[in-house]
Amino acid sequence: MVSDRSLEVLRVIVQDYVASREPVGSKSIVERHGFDVSAATIRNDMAALEEEELIVAPHTSSGRVPTDKGYRLFVDRMSEVRPLSAAQRQAIEVFLGQSVDVDDVLARTVRLLAQLTHQVALVQYPSTSRARVRHIEFVPLAPRRVLCVLIADSGIVEQGVAEPDGELDEVALAELRARVNAEAAGMRLTDAAATLRRLPETLSAERWDEDARGFAAALCSAIVEQIESTRQERLIMAGAANLVRTEIDFTGSVTPVLEAIEEQVELLKLFGEMERDQHGVAVRIGRENAAATLSEASVVASGYAGFGTDVARLGVLGPTRMDYSNNMAAVRAVARYLSRLLGE
């Protein structure tokens, strides 16, 4: 059983090691933190912590550094997460408030998180299973080029260029636009995709000959592809340079971690498994991560959601030697603001 003083010693070891990356000794603890006991007593506390595998000596006769288990106990015993400063909160509001659409707000979110935490920032695109079609637009660019635009009530805007065979006059294109919106507007995206796949077959042979129906099918297919793209799970990232700057915290090379971030599969799986704690965030530390590539990394994450979207995750990834309190506060604050912004 670790005493309360020993737990306080663990707390300062974590804080000092995160700040300096130097192993922490009993003498520096007494000098810097005002413990009303001798260095010998602190050494006894450190021995108790070492016996519980909460700290370890990286070298003979050196100070001590936290283990994954020590970091975990430190995080679990946080009575509260230090709030962001007023300036930081205002920066979040101003920077994200300038966004023009969902893609822009998510791109801004990862850049902001990377700046606030000095870690790799990750944001999962929101699932659109509850989103509905607001409007579909076809804009002719050339005789055989049409810009197809999908607008959802969740704020998602997808667009792409279709290049169908043949041509369709302005009147027929306007008729198709009206028909598509009459059929799909207000539908969930998944239902709208099924409707649009069938729509060309239902066009009257009297008004739409085979070539015209083929043209309509090409445009409907472009919208269906856009709907399908919104359903793919994917992450966007910023701050990879932050990870490279902390490469010394990883034995060997940081390359496997960067590859895991790029491939996304393990991180998406991890995001799906992480459960938020009493602070509204989830933390996975070192070997708590099932993926071997992340065994020396920590992930701090929280959930966000907007109107018409399911809960998605955002967070930061870095070495286990990270400022957990600050990172948890930043992730929680940005997630809350993002939810409010997307819900408006």
- Does residue 116 lie within any of the structural domains? yes
Residues 107, 196 share a domain: no
H helices, E strands: number in the chain: 13, 10
Q: What is the pLDDT of residue 195?
A: 92
Residues 164, 37 share a domain: no
Residues 108, 237 share a domain: yes
Distance between CA atoms of residues 338 and 306, nearest Å: 8
Residue where a domain stops, chosen among 230, 246, 261: 230
Q: What's the sign of the alpha-carbon dihedral 322, 325, 326, 331? A: positive
Residues 278, 179 share a domain: no
Assign residue 214 the CATH number of its domain. Answer: 3.30.390.10
Which pLDDT tens digit goes with each residue over 25-42?
A: 999 999 888 788 888 999
| Domain around 137 | 133-230
Residues 313, 248 share a domain: yes
Residues 162, 95 share a domain: no
- Does residue 25 lie within any of the structural domains? yes
Distance between CA atoms of residues 320 and 249, nearest Å: 8
Q: Which residues pair with 284 in a beta bridge?
A: 299
Nearest residue to 124 (alpha-carbon basis) of 305, 308, 342 = 305
Distance between CA atoms of residues 119 and 116, nearest Å: 8
Residues 288, 162 share a domain: no
Q: What is the pLDDT of residue 60?
A: 66
- Does residue 219 lie within any of the structural domains? yes
Assign residue 62 the CATH number of its domain. Answer: 1.10.10.10
Fill in the DSSP letter of residue 289.
S
Residues 123, 243 share a domain: yes
Q: What is the pLDDT of residue 309?
A: 56
**Token code pair at residue 176:** 């198709």
Residues 250, 150 share a domain: no
Distance between CA atoms of residues 255 and 49, nearest Å: 32
- Does residue 324 lie within any of the structural domains? yes
Residues 275, 156 share a domain: no
Assign residue 237 the CATH number of its domain. Answer: 3.30.450.40
Domain count, the chain: 3
Residues 70, 194 share a domain: no
Is residue 315 a contact partner of residue 63, using CB atoms and an 8 Å limit?
Answer: no
- Does residue 315 lie within any of the structural domains? yes
Q: What is the pLDDT of residue 201?
A: 85
* Positions of the chain with pLDDT lower than 70, given as ranges: 60-61, 127-130, 205-206, 231-232, 277-278, 306-310, 344
**Token code pair at residue 120:** 């790799």
- Does residue 81 lie within any of the structural domains? no
Residues 182, 153 share a domain: yes
